């Protein structure tokens, strides 16, 4: 499953792959559902159909450089690593839910 929210961490850093050719005007990489109207998404669709936008496997050097760049951007205050949503506290063993 594609993780658009944490693309850099969950896809690029974890798997060593990246999308190349994503239209500049639509960066950062995000779920096309949230980009906008059909006309706004059209350049991405065309890039995918023509294979201008495609996946590549990063070399070891590219992979390490990407991780380092992401960490630098995050340290500057740019949100590269999005915080995960916290799960509601689970009922611990021995506690009873109040069911009326």
Q: What is the mean pLDDT of the chain?
A: 90
Confidence check: pLDDT of 87 > 90: no
User: How long is the chain?
Assistant: 100
Is the pLDDT at 32 greater than 60? The verdict is yes
Comparing 86 with 18, the larger pLDDT belongs to: 18
In Å, what is the CA distance from 84 to each residue of 6, 17, 53?
A: 9, 22, 28
How far apart are the C-alpha atoms of 23 and 20, rounded to whole Å? 9
Chain centroid, CA 94 distance in Å: 39
- Quick check: 92 pLDDT over 60? no
Q: Give the helix ranges, DSSP H, for 1-100.
A: 14-15, 38-49, 60-75
């Amino acid at each position: 499953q594609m993780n658009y929210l944490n693309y850099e961490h969950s896809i690029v850093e974890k798997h060593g792959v990246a999308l190349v050719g994503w239209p500049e005007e639509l960066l950062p990489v995000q779920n096309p559902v949230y980009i906008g109207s059909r006309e706004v998404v059209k350049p991405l669709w065309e890039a995918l159909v023509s294979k201008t936008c495609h996946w590549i496997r990063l070399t070891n050097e590219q992979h390490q450089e990407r991780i380092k760049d992401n960490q630098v951007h995050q340290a500057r205050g740019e949100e590269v690593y999005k915080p995960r949503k916290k799960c509601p506290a689970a009922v611990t063993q021995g506690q009873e839910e109040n069911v009326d």
